Structure 1
Amino acid sequence: MWRLVIIFSIFCISAINSDSSESEIITDEGFENFKKANNKNYARVYDEIRSYKAYEENQKVVEEHNKRFQSGECSFRLATNTLADMNTDSYLKGYLRLLKSQRQPNSTEENAADIVGSPLMSNLPESLDWRTKGFVTEPQNQQSCGSCYAFSIAQSIEGQVFKRTGRILSLSVQQIVDCSVSFGNQGCTGGSLRNTLRYLQSTGGIMRSKDYKYTARKGRCQFVRELAVVNVTSWAILPPNDENAIQAAVTHIGPVAVSINATPKTFQLYSDGVYDDPACSSDTVNHAMLVIGYGKDYWILKNWWGEKWGERGYMKLRKGRNLCGVANYAAYAVV
């Protein structure tokens, strides 16, 4: 009997400690405000506790970094943004799913960009922002689907359509997620820019987003050729490590899709300013974004993590030293 009492007592203590942990989360005003601001709900108490711990750790990172920003030691700020409840492992597995592009043996389907080696490489404006010309698209959120490759190529094509017509035509990201698997992409598990471009050139076009809506999960391919509104006739890869070529392409072609290394904690928690973390290596890339413009010393990139990340979904990245591998792999479709 005493043994049963002891076991029951231990269980009660464990239950009290568990309730205490849950209560601690509920009464943490900062975390409660974070959840409300970002519409966060957790299915289990364990998930909430884990998210709270990540939030606490990330909050410390933000506070320490922003002290350095205030003292002029760095040129960008961090924030407990919409990804602040994710630890490093969850962030890497949940959001960074770009696959390495595989070059096709003896392929003749791709060409170095015409922009390279031409007179268009010189006399480029010091700054350019396609948003000021009217190319302002809605903030996008890939959610828990690793579809950055699809967003970056689709919106690069949207930029070219805008450059030619002055109209913003929202194209289907979900079509790429669902239908490009036979070209090497893996739906929400990841994909590459090259595979996406090969798929679009082969398939006969891309539909509008309102006709093929984004669901943030891989589904059965429902492409209808008759509803395709833009055809991809060919595509080009810019020379690696050549930021001048990116600048020329953004100026004369339109917004350009790029691969990038988004691994650092400072990238995850970026708020505003010119991102220049030297720890952001160019040796590897794991995310895709869209270059929609540039300043004298920075690139302007659009991301797919919602308007509460960065500068309403955008980022400024230091230009001139291939930071985060921004010039490792840049591409655009020809429409």
Structure 2
Amino acid sequence: FTLFFVLFGAVIADLSLEWNKFKHDYNKRYATVAEEMERKQIFIENVKRMHSYEKTHPNATFTMAINHLSDRHIEELVSRRKNHVRSPTTSFKSSIEVNNLPESLDWRIRGVITEVNEEVGEIITAVVSTELVETLHAIETGQLIQGSIAQVFDCCPQPIDAFDCIKNMSGICRKNDYPVPLGKCEPNKCQPVYVYVKSSVDNNV
């Protein structure tokens, strides 16, 4: 029993050290002691889950790590609005050639993906839609330009199909030209930085 409590205490101490490092690295501040205790518990649960997965999946092809969202439940990171998922109108052709594929492909090291966005909640659909268009544009042109998530959020509210909406706007403005949500759509506030065609998504997904 003594050995068990010693090991248990060591685990708790390690998690507390990780928690303190997490708060320092990401400059975390909480409004009350109660909120901090709640966030700490969520953080510990997430870290334990991560370590457990690493032990049970030693041959996983990806790695897991602590980031700025480690003190949140997954439910907090998705939109609270009802999701409307539409079936694709076209089907993939079974005759697509799959020869000469690379063993691996990481778009992150090719400079076509922007940094992780910290936005969560109802704006997440606009985040994903904008970043996908950014990446497709970067793959085709070699230029990675940050688009305005705020514009997509204002002008393409759910359950509107975000990609149809972006197409109807003729593209997305630069982030700097439409930096924050205005509470209403202002399509003429800026000039789209690139034209978006929905078929490009269908062909690349």
Distance 2:165 2:38 in 1: 39
1:81 aligns with 2:67: yes
- For residue 197 of structure 1, what is the aligned residue in structure 2? 163
Report the Cα offset of residue 197 of structure 1. Answer: 1.1
1:233-272 aligned at under 5 Å gives the runs 233-235=197-199, 249-250=203-204, 256=205
Distance 1:31 1:121 in 2: 48
Distance 2:137 2:149 in 1: 16
Which one scores higher on RCO, CA 8 angstroms, separation ≥ 6?
Answer: 1
Q: Deviations over 1:109-168 (max 9, x none)?
A: x8527xx43865342523444445x43443132333343322332233223323333222
Percent of aligned positions that are identical: 23
- For residue 44 of structure 1, what is the aligned residue in structure 2? 32
1:101 aligns with 2:85: yes
Distance 2:121 2:26 in 1: 18
1:112 aligns with 2:90: yes
RMSD: 3.3
1:184 aligns with 2:159: yes
The secondary structure found in structure 2 opposite 1:156 is helix
Uncovered stretches (5+) of structure 2, i.e. residues with no partner: 1-15
Is the CA contact 1:58–1:84 (under 8 Å) kept in the aligned structure 2? yes
Larger radius of gyration: 1
Is the CA contact 1:169–1:208 (under 8 Å) kept in the aligned structure 2? yes
Bigger proportion of residues as helix: 2
- For residue 13 of structure 2, what is the aligned residue in structure 1? none
Is the CA contact 1:204–1:225 (under 8 Å) kept in the aligned structure 2? no
Aligned to 2:178, which of 212, 224, 228? 212
Uncovered stretches (5+) of structure 1, i.e. residues with no partner: 1-27, 104-109, 186-194, 239-248, 251-255, 257-335
Instruction: Return the TM-score normalized by structure 2.
Output: 0.71
Report the Cα offset of residue 198 of structure 1. Answer: 1.8
Instruction: Return the TM-score normalized by structure 1.
Output: 0.47
Distance 2:44 2:139 in 1: 45
- For residue 149 of structure 2, what is the aligned residue in structure 1? 173
Distance 1:33 1:131, change over 3 A: closer
Distance 1:235 1:180 in 2: 18
Is the CA contact 1:55–1:80 (under 8 Å) kept in the aligned structure 2? no
Distance 1:130 1:33 in 2: 30
Report the Cα offset of residue 60 of structure 1. Answer: 3.0
Distance 1:171 1:67, change over 3 A: same
- For residue 193 of structure 2, what is the aligned residue in structure 1? 229
Aligned to 1:58, which of 41, 46, 56? 46
Opposite residue 130 of structure 2, the aligned amino acid is: A
Distance 1:55 1:234 in 2: 39
Opposite residue 55 of structure 2, the aligned amino acid is: K
Distance 1:178 1:152 in 2: 14
